[in-house]
Amino acid sequence: MTARYRVTPVSTVGGRIRVPGDKSFSHRSLIADNLLEHNSTGIIALNSEGLVIRHNRILHAMDASGAGVALKETSAALVYGNEIIHCAHGIMADSPMNPINRIVFVGNTIA
Distance (Å, rounded) from C-alpha 57 to C-alpha 109? 10
Confidence label for 23 from pLDDT (cuts 50, 70 and 90)? low
The DSSP output letter for 11 is P
User: Which of 14-18, 90-94, 98-102 is the most confident on average?
Assistant: 90-94
Tell me the pLDDT of the chain averaged across its residues. 78
Per residue in 28-57, pLDDT (tens digit) is 888 888 888 888 888 888 888 888 999 999
Does position 88 have pLDDT exceeding 80, yes or no?
yes
